[in-house]
Amino acid sequence: MEKKYSNKKWLSFAALMLGAGTIYKLYFMDGAFYVQMQEFMGLSHTQIGLIYSISGWVSTFGFLAAVYITDRFSKKKMIPFAMIGNGLVGILLSTFPPFKVTLILFCLFAVFSDMLFWPTMLKTIRLIGNENEQGRMFGFLETGRGLIDTIVNFIALGIFVWLGSNTFGFKGSLIFFSALTIIIGIASYFVIEEDEIGKISNSSEKNKVALEGMKNAFKNKDIWLVSINVFTVYAVYSGIKYFVPFLKEVYAMPIALASTYGIINAYCLKMVGGPIGGYISDKVTHSAAKFIRIMFAITAIALFGYIMLPHGTVSIYIGMGIALLISASIFCMRAVFFAPMDEVKVPRKITGSAMALGSFIGYLPGAFIGIIYGGQLDAHPGIEGYKIVFTIMGCIAVVGIIISSILIKVINDKKGIVANN
């Protein structure tokens, strides 16, 4: 019986990992296919910016709506529905409709991927792992996402080239993304188990359970504390992309080397940081919150040290090495930043509401932090602008240390022990 449960658990985990690694390929195609969006969909820089700005706000308020939705509907139905819906929208997008329709379709991507899929996926990950596996579960999820993300993007790029690197080739890539998402969505229905809400047949009773879970989530101070901790991690994480232009401008890094660094920074560290963060938080610190505090401390020290470094005289490889250390620390935190939900003993029956509220608060920096960082770079050209950005990141990391310390005290109080911090 135990072996059968273990097999089901890992099948569910594999489906979630595949889903998380594919569902965002359509929504965030600009990462790999920005030029194709311009050439073959006829979109300008301004139009692409408008698409992601509006759909980003849909995502933000979608997370808020998910506080009710995630515990109202069964994960067994929600995840396949979100993935299949996302894939169907992708097929519509492959017809290259007018801009207004394209804008609506991207808003639908935000609904299916962020509002319906992501919080439900986080809920499911928490529920299939016990309290001693949370760090590794979330860590391996992040690693799997990074690996699948890379493989799927390269396959789509191969299809584009194989079909002629033209309009037809780009349609082929979009259809590939869409079909893969739909297939994984269908498969997930057969491996993800039903939850308690799915066993309730009465609709009014389901509404009552979901509303009660939503109310309890908003009233739970511990959920807010974990969510604010996620907020600080994500705010610092949002700044690591500026290391690439910084190294290029300040160190005159060659374009090929900048691209190599960008790949390591975006993909390799995600794949490495996941299992390292998950293993250490589970097996060494025995607490994701304690691990996050250590990583915040390393990040803050490294950032403030990086600011004082004489960048005009040191080797570019020293500059790259410290930047990669900072990014690695942040990726390790990002891999496990939802794991403390289990440490603060959030009731499992409101896991969906808790994860949705955590996503709403935690990912909120995505709606404004880029404007703050970018504004400083525009207002202070050259190395001074980057120093200001890195200083802001370092200050947020210090706030993160404080929040993590408060979180650890709450966790220790719940365990009935005196914290020795």
Find where tokens 């009731």 sit.
347
What pLDDT shows up at residue 131?
Answer: 65
Same domain, 79 and 187: yes
Query: Is 239 found in the same domain as 103?
Result: no
Half-sphere exposure (Cβ direction) of 179: Cα atoms closer than 13 Å? 8
Say which residues have a Cβ less than 8 Å from residue 370's Cβ, sequence separation at least 6.
238
Same domain, 232 and 370: yes
> Are residues 27 and 95 both part of a single domain?
yes
Q: Are residues 195 and 249 in the same domain?
A: no
Q: Is residue 133 part of a domain?
A: yes
Which among 159, 178, 209 is the end of a domain?
A: 209
Whether residues 320 and 239 fall in one domain: yes
In a domain, 44, yes or no: yes
108 and 35 fall within a common domain? yes
Q: CA-to-CA distance for 64 and 17, rounded, in angstroms?
A: 23
Whole-model pTM: value is 0.78
296 and 171 part of one domain: no
Report the CATH number at residue 148: 1.20.1250.20
Residues 196 and 56 in one domain: yes
Of 209, 239, 272, which marks where a domain is finished?
209
415, 405 in Cβ contact below 8 A?
Answer: no
Structural domain contains residue 214? no
**Domain presence at residue 263:** yes
Note the pLDDT of residue 44: 83
Residue 54 sits in the same domain as residue 184: yes
Tell me, yes or no, whether 215 lies in a domain: no
Q: Which domain holds residue 10?
A: 1-209
Question: Phi, psi at residue 315, to the nearest 5°?
Answer: -65, 145
In a domain, 161, yes or no: yes
Among the candidates 155, 190, 209, a domain finishes at 209
Which pLDDT value is given to residue 418?
42
Q: Is the domain of 78 the same as that of 200? A: yes
Q: Give the integer Cα–Cα distance in Å for 367 and 218.
A: 21
The whole-number pLDDT of residue 406 equals 95
In a domain, 197, yes or no: yes
* pLDDT at residue 326, rounded to an integer: 93
* Total tally of structural domains belonging to the chain: 2
How far is Cα 145 from Cα 163, in angstroms, rounded to an integer?
A: 27
Across the chain, which has 421 residues, the per-10-residue mean pLDDT values are: 61 87 86 79 83 85 83 85 96 95 95 90 78 71 80 86 90 95 93 68 66 81 93 91 82 70 71 80 87 96 93 84 91 87 82 83 84 84 90 96 95 68 50
pLDDT at 133: 66
Domain match, 47 and 109 both: yes
Q: Are 50 and 165 in contact (CB under 8 A)?
A: no
